[in-house]
Amino acid sequence: MLATFLIGLREGLEAALVVGILVAYLKRLDRRDALPRLWIGVGAAIVLALVIGAVLTFGSYALTFQGQEIIGGTLSLVTVAMVTWMIFWMRKAGRTMKATLQGGVDRALASGTVWALVIVGFVSVAREGIETTLLLWSMVQSFGDAPAAILGAVLGLAVAVLAGWLLARGAVRLDLGRFFTWTGGFLVIVAAGVLAYAFSDLQESGVLPGPYTAAAPLDVHGAVLTGLAGFPFGWAFDVSAAIRPDSALAVLLQATVGFMPRMSWFQVIAWILYLVIVGTLFVRGLRGTRSPRPSTTASAPSAAVSPTPEGAS
């Protein structure tokens, strides 16, 4: 629940802030008559995310085990790519997000068509919704405990909606820049774990060589070798005797840092490379955008809906 709660909170708050920008701008223009069209677009984006989640969940039942693993591994790779892009996109686009969204509203109102504003609301929220759906689906497949994972995500989204509403009303103050920075760092770690799980799925399906394929190095008893002897297609380590895969500790470690009691060399290498490369770029980006002036906080609709990942507004 912890990992999916944080995912739901992070992604939900981003979507809430985007909607807040659009609603506040329409009210400032005294165009409350256009709000229903905006909400239609937002609602359609939410429905699309739910439909994608349902198709992924129930559609996989009709596949063979190998098909499920291939689809799961491929979608996990797509998820990692989307999350990685989103982390760095927020840093680049955060400063101009408010102006970009307001420009879209201006063009929609100028066109005079109902569908133009519907599309603005839909596109603004759909990206967050699809990204959240894919990430949560990948994490649910990885954890194997769908009810708890889904409950955590729902709670996170609920808190995000409440927080977005309170921010817009000026009821609470929150350093949005610091919030998105810390959750961005958390997402880097989560994405590394999802990537490792993707490699596990692809190895189980036989798409990649590994412990489940004929390429696995075996000992005299036919067991897959572990450690340096098992490099590169065997197990990197196996601590299942000390940490049971179905234990609370194993689930917690997998949810937070992507650790599994038994991991192949491909999984470990992918996890390390992702953390080193993406983590280094993330930290360098933070250092490069620091400024001596203090970061602002959100205390009014105009401030609450114009955050940047580094804390500037």
* Location of structure tokens 């797509």: 78
Lowest mean pLDDT among 83-87, 184-188, 192-196, 290-294: 290-294
Task: Return the pLDDT at 152.
Answer: 84
Q: Is residue 309 part of a domain?
A: no
Assign 208 a pLDDT band (cuts: 50, 70, 90).
very high
pLDDT of residue 225: 95
Q: What is the mean pLDDT of residues 275-281?
A: 94
Q: How confident is the model at residue 146 (pLDDT cuts 50, 70, 90)?
A: low
Domains contained in the chain, number: 1
310 located within any domain: no
Token representation of residue 25: 């701008």
307 has a pLDDT exceeding 50: no
Structural domain includes residue 173: yes
- The residue-averaged pLDDT of 6-25 equals 83
Residue 82: what pLDDT? 85
Is residue 206 one of the residues assigned to a domain? yes
Q: For position 294, what pLDDT does the model report? A: 45
Distance, CA of 305 to chain centre: 20
The whole-model pTM stands at 0.76
pLDDT (tens digit, 9 = 90+) per residue, 25-72? 888 888 888 889 889 999 999 999 889 888 887 776 667 778 888 888
Pick the more confident residue, 140 or 132. Answer: 132
Question: Does 207 reside within a domain?
Answer: yes
Question: What does the chain look like in DSSP terms, one character per residue?
Answer: -HHHHHHHHHHHHHHHHHHHHHHHHHHHTT-GGGHHHHHHHHHHHHHHHHHHHHHHHHHGGGS-HHHHHHHHHHHHHHHHHHHHHHHHHHHHHGGGHHHHHHHHHHHHHHHT-HHHHHHHHHHHHHHHHHHHHHHHHHHHHHHS-HHHHHHHHHHHHHHHHHHHHHHHHTSS-B-HHHHHHHHHHHHHHHHHHHHHHHHHHHHHTTSS-STTSTTS-B-TTSPBPBGGGGTTTSEEEE-TTTS-TTSHHHHHHHHHH---SEEEHHHHHHHHHHHHHHHHHHHHHHHHT--SSPPP-B-SHHHHT---TTS--
pLDDT greater than 80 at residue 298: no
Share of the chain above pLDDT 90, in %: 27
Residue 200 lies in a domain: yes
For residue 133, pLDDT beyond 70: yes
Q: To the nearest whole percent, how much of the chain has pLDDT over 70? A: 84
Q: In the predicted model, what is the mean pLDDT of the chain?
A: 81
d(CA 220, CA 151): 46
Q: What confidence score (pLDDT) does residue 153 get? A: 85
Domain contains 50:
yes
Q: Tell me which of 187 and 303 has the higher pLDDT.
A: 187
Asked whether the beta carbons of 236 and 268 are under 8 A apart, the reply is yes
What gap in Å lies between CA 21 and CA 79, rounded to an integer?
26
pLDDT one-digit tens code per residue, 150-174: 888 889 889 888 888 887 776 667 6
Whole-angstrom CA distances from 238 to 31, 130, 144, 230 are 62, 35, 19, 11
State the helix-helix crossing angle for 176-204 and 265-288, rounded to 10 degrees. 160
Dihedral pair phi/psi, residue 220, rounded to 5°: -65, -20
The Cα 153–Cα 191 span in angstroms is 16
Confidence of residue 85 (pLDDT cuts 50, 70, 90): confident
122, 129 contact by CB (below 8 A): no
- Give the residue numbers spanning the domain of 45: 2-304
Instruction: Flag whether 312 is in a domain.
Output: no
pLDDT of residue 289: 60
Res. 207: pLDDT tops 80:
yes
d(CA 260, CA 251): 8
pLDDT of 19 reads 86
